[in-house]
Amino acid sequence: CQPRPTSVSKQDIREQIWDYMESRNLADFPRPVHHRIPNFKGSYLACQNIKDLEVFARTQEVKVDPDKPLEGVRLLALQVIPFPEPEPWLLSGPPSPGGWQACTVPHVERWCF
């Protein structure tokens, strides 16, 4: 009978990686890296490699999470992938008094639908 291996959770692995990055000073701002997708030294350069992928050259749509280590991908996508022109009404100036409420979740239905 073999002893049953102890299970390791995703959280255990995350903790080990976060500790490793902090102890070896591999992280960039924002710090500490615990409980987030960590920004690491060289992340911007790593993001630049995406432009060499065939699938990136063919894509028409990109979704990039807002995490700091993906900033390079967001900037690259804005430079390479065409996006539609804004609607003319978007350029008509500031909203009327109270129109800024449309930016808030409780008021979006009133102003947008």
More confident residue, 51 or 98: 51
**pLDDT tens digits for range 75-106:** 888 887 766 666 665 555 555 656 656 556 66
Identify whether 83 is part of a domain. yes
Full residue range of the structural domain in which residue 33 is found: 10-112
Considering its fold, how many domains does the chain have in total? 1
**Residue 59 confidence (pLDDT):** 86
Identify whether 4 is part of a domain. no
Identify whether 95 is part of a domain. yes
Q: Report how far residue 37's alpha carbon sits from residue 21's, in angstroms, rounded to the nearest whole number.
A: 12
The CA-based angle 52-26-80, given to 5 degrees, is 25
Identify whether 43 is part of a domain. yes
Identify whether 50 is part of a domain. yes
Mean pLDDT of the chain: 81
Identify whether 1 is part of a domain. no
Average pLDDT of 7-14?
93
**Residue 108 confidence (pLDDT):** 59
Token code pair at residue 65: 């999470």
Identify whether 3 is part of a domain. no
